[in-house]
Structure 1
Amino acid sequence: MKVAVADVGTNSSHLLLAEASGGDYRVLDSLKDRTRLGECLDARGYLTPEGEDRLASALLRFRELSSAAGIPEVRVYATSALREAPNGPEVAARMRERTGIYPAIISGEREGQLTYLGAADSVEFGADNVLLDLGGGSLELARGGPQEAADVLSLPLGAIRMTRAFLTEEPPGRKALKAVQEHVRSLLLPFAARFQAGPGTRMILSSGTAEAAALAISAGRGHSGGHINGVTFSVVELEALLEQARSSRPAARARIPGFERRVDTIVAGLAVLHAALDVLGAREVTVSEGALREGMLIEELAQLQSYSGTLSVRQRSVLATAERFGANLAHAGQVATLSRGLLEALTHLGERFPEEARALLTAAAALHEAGLIVSQSSHHKHSAYLIRHADLRGFSPRDRELIAQIARYHRRSPPKPSHTEYMSLPSADRTLVCRLAAVLRVADGLDRAHAGGTRLGELSRDGKGWTLRLSGATPLDLLGAREKADLWAQVYGPLTFSPA
């Protein structure tokens, strides 16, 4: 089971390819693209055409590498640069048209949660941990236990942002550096109690700035090269490194180990980290190489394993078939989960379905895009053909035909009297296909971005209409669900969506 994840930041974009291995994962390949989107924001904060071109180029490279590894799709999350750009959602939509990849824009809080997950898998966390993750545009703080964050805060204190706002001369003067640190303190102090270091608190740093600091401090101790994951240093050592970087001219600064590609922003980055750690009362910190993309990877694999773990023997044969046809398993699993959730909600509200409905719907959801292995055009029809002729263990010929037709109607035209295969079904089976295909269409629309973030809230009925509460859906997901709620409206009544 292989997956590809990528994050788009203010300074760089990273791709990670991995394969599930037992209860863990094995990294297959990785790629870093210095997109530097922070340089491509106009005076109003809009991402410029040059920035869009840089991003498109990176996404195309990511898609090429993942395809070569046999991974059909890359899940991409975008952080501060697109999150704060007024045209961020429009840029994300254009990226989907230009590259076939949709960079889903996530909140700072979501970013912090995933980064915490990635860091907790890279270094040993204790009962109480505080993570600081510094990017080009923002600083995320997260506090939690051994595995998950319980409290997350995102502040606009990124290294590129602070460099542009305060450090305009080389080398930066002490007055300018003090201005950076006072700004950090002013923004962080109102929240300091939530992230204050206690007697048993482990303070963790992640990000390129933190890794660069670990390399430089390790080199100063006489250790060169090697991994820096788990390297520990004191805040006093960080302060000395900050002064060394501040007082050095760019050419000399570039010779400090770890600083080669961060000459322009490293002073601001170190200043932000030092000021934040000082406010929180930290004395010692540990650096984690695991961050956002590792957290994305862990979450993605966990979702896939959880999905496969809920399947019966015959449903696992469906999953194996989907994998054989090169289907995007993450998307298939998300659509199956959403489909089952919608079916359960309908049942709870009095809609009646035959006993086999859940198994048929789950199988159709897992295989609805199998036809992409043939071609993008009319892939819903190709999916139906492949399902009819697949060796789906445990399913009868009737079951396979129903699964094929439910999958066939996940997109484009709903069932029509002119459709021969549909009309050849008994009346009760035609009704079942319509009712389950209506659910599948909405579920597929709710993951149109293939970001896997949509979570179902309450489904309620009011008169002849329905309202579905959602969380985590991207604008593209909401658009997809509205466009694909046509068959639901015919079968059950109009469906609208609202925030949970």
Structure 2
Amino acid sequence: MIAEAAQGDAGGFRVLDALKDRTRLGECLDEAGNLTPEGEDRLASALTRFRELASGAGVAEVHVYATSALREAPNGAEVAGRMLSRTGVYPVIISGEREGELTYLGAAHSVELGEDNVLLDLGGGSLEFVRGDGHAPRDVLSLPLGGIRMTRAFFRSDVPARREVQALTDAVRTALAPHVERFRVRPGTRAVLSSGTAEAAAAAIVARRGAGSGGDGPEGVNGVTFTLAELGALLEHVRGLKGAARARVPGLERRSETVVAGLATLHAALEVLGARQVTVSEGALREGMLIEELSRFQAYRSALSARQRSVLGTAERFGANLSHSRQVAALSRGLLDALHAAGEPVDHEDRSLLTAAGALHEVGQIVAQSAHHKHSAYLIRHAELRGFSPREIELIAQLARYHRKSVPKPSHAEFMALGAGDRARVTRLAAVLRVADGLDRSHGGAVRLGELVRRGDGWQLTVAGATPLDLSGARDKADLWGRVFGPLTLHAL
């Protein structure tokens, strides 16, 4: 989905384009649960199509989240790393709980929620349960009850037997039993469904009601309400059909292979929780991802000073990835503050210069990816940043110059043209910027800094939320840190 922020509407957006590619990765797992080469090829094909669409639209920021299939596959992290090499895009693997939280945000943007709501989001590998109010989730649970998973586990023929559906129902009840009180539907609770299966069910039920064009497909089902009895009747109807016949049911055309398991799973879960009526939300994970990012950006923008707004405007003008820039700036400040707390000398100018360099370090990519650190330095020098002196602009440019590749050297004329004190400042701050940039190598924006403590002649940094790519990125770029402060080791939570 490609979207732009709506002017004057915090968190609002307008969708410009959308593309769906059903990879069905849950079908591409070997006996050990690893994603097979066929699955990797499906994923690479989809990511390549998405990247090309984004590039053609001039989109600088691309966020890709991977869910159940890669989350549970023992080789999931390796596959994600290979995707970066093959497609130029890194799929950040998120937890089931995070998936549920973001899906809830997407639903809250799409349908009217009440003071108490229970959301069920069915994917190919997992089923998320979320309880929350009209704005945010409060409790999230992810269970391995996805449509593809349940189809493979319980059905042996094209037309599932009643005993197979009953076995699936029993399994859902057993898995959900310890959590029923957390997600029980009470008087006044609104039950909401999201996912392709839920949209397909809504389209099929509307068609069965005889509502004409409203049942032609999943479009236009946002906010549609149906009863548990209607869902049960639809399940019984499609269970007795062969796949080819199921594919002719309005709304189920693209889900004929897994829809029986999906409907049975949702019906069993809703029945256990006591829901008698549900509302379908077309807003789900993608919308939640976008809303979260826009909300973060709005909060970030509102807190900026005049010189920081100038930096942000420059980053926007040169098409920088704003979420990555903001994350690198925040991580840089956090590392600098941690160094200061540990006794390293830091002053206010250090923090201001490093923040600006973090925000602008990749603007040179508008010229070319190759040597973009040098292009960044040139653009910063000539961007007419407001609120900074010529000396400060030069220091910011040189920090961006050294965020990657070569470290400062006596053979670099522009570096040697600085005074001795500023050369030391650039070297010290560039060491911090390199590690911060490495910690968001995935551009996932999820890394949180923990403790930074001295260990002998070096340092240990604890981080949370880092992907394997983030960790390797920080280790690879800790060279200058080691020279300036002492060797850095990372501990991931």
Q: Is the contact between residue 365 and residue 407 of structure 1 (CA under 8 Å) also seen in structure 2?
A: yes
| Map of 1:6 onto structure 2 | none
1:100 paired with 2:88, answer: yes
Q: Is the contact between residue 133 and residue 139 of structure 1 (CA under 8 Å) also seen in structure 2?
A: yes
- The correspondence of residues 387-426 of structure 1 with structure 2, limited to 5 A, is 387-426=380-419
Q: Tell me how far apart the structure 1 counterparts of residues 134 and 342 of structure 2 sit (CA, whole Å).
A: 39
Correspondent of 1:55 among 22, 43, 48: 43
Query: How far off is 1:212 after superposition?
Result: 0.7
| Map of 1:239 onto structure 2 | 232
Query: How far off is 1:16 after superposition?
Result: 4.0
Query: How far off is 1:463 after superposition?
Result: 4.1
| Map of 2:245 onto structure 1 | 252
| Map of 1:10 onto structure 2 | none
Query: How far off is 1:114 after superposition?
Result: 0.9
Q: Is the contact between residue 61 and residue 322 of structure 2 (CA under 8 Å) also seen in structure 1?
A: no
| Map of 2:22 onto structure 1 | 34
Query: How far off is 1:249 after superposition?
Result: 2.3
* SS of equivalent to 1:32: coil
Cα 1:318/1:77, change in 2 over 3 Å: same
Q: What's the C-alpha RMSD, in Å, of the aligned pairs?
A: 1.5
1:369 paired with 2:357, answer: no
CA-to-partner distance for each residue in 1:465-499, whole Å, 9 max, x for gaps?
32222111111001111111222222222222223
Query: How far off is 1:267 after superposition?
Result: 0.5
CA-to-partner distance for each residue in 1:227-247, whole Å, 9 max, x for gaps?
111111111111111111112
* SS of equivalent to 2:19: strand
- The correspondence of residues 113-124 of structure 1 with structure 2, limited to 5 A, is 113-124=101-112
Q: Tell me how far apart the structure 1 counterparts of residues 103 and 248 of structure 2 sit (CA, whole Å).
A: 30
* SS of equivalent to 1:75: coil
- The correspondence of residues 96-495 of structure 1 with structure 2, limited to 5 A, is 96-223=84-211, 224-225=213-214, 227-495=220-488
Q: Tell me how far apart the structure 2 counterparts of residues 469 and 54 of structure 1 sit (CA, whole Å).
A: 35
1:21 paired with 2:7, answer: yes
Higher mean C-alpha displacement, 254-263 vs 486-495? 486-495
Q: Is the contact between residue 3 and residue 13 of structure 2 (CA under 8 Å) also seen in structure 1?
A: no
Q: Is the contact between residue 126 and residue 201 of structure 1 (CA under 8 Å) also seen in structure 2?
A: yes
| Map of 1:89 onto structure 2 | 77
Q: Is the contact between residue 466 and residue 495 of structure 1 (CA under 8 Å) also seen in structure 2?
A: yes
Query: How far off is 1:30 after superposition?
Result: 0.5
* SS of equivalent to 1:287: strand
Q: Tell me how far apart the structure 1 counterparts of residues 188 and 329 of structure 2 sit (CA, whole Å).
A: 43
| Map of 1:5 onto structure 2 | none
User: So what's the TM-score if we normalise by structure 2?
Assistant: 0.95
CA-to-partner distance for each residue in 1:243-275, whole Å, 9 max, x for gaps?
111122223322222101011111000000010
Q: Tell me how far apart the structure 2 counterparts of residues 192 and 60 of structure 1 sit (CA, whole Å).
A: 41
* SS of equivalent to 1:200: coil
Higher mean C-alpha displacement, 458-467 vs 484-493? 458-467
Q: Is the contact between residue 108 and residue 154 of structure 1 (CA under 8 Å) also seen in structure 2?
A: yes
Structure 2 residue runs without a partner (length 5+):
none
Q: Tell me how far apart the structure 1 counterparts of residues 492 and 35 of structure 2 sit (CA, whole Å).
A: 28
Q: Tell me how far apart the structure 1 counterparts of residues 52 and 270 of structure 2 sit (CA, whole Å).
A: 41
Q: Tell me how far apart the structure 1 counterparts of residues 82 and 465 of structure 2 sit (CA, whole Å).
A: 21
Query: How far off is 1:205 after superposition?
Result: 0.6
* SS of equivalent to 1:456: strand
Q: Tell me how far apart the structure 2 counterparts of residues 29 and 315 of structure 1 sit (CA, whole Å).
A: 31
Aligned length: 486
**Which amino acid is 2:249 matched to?**
I
Q: Is the contact between residue 307 and residue 337 of structure 1 (CA under 8 Å) also seen in structure 2?
A: no
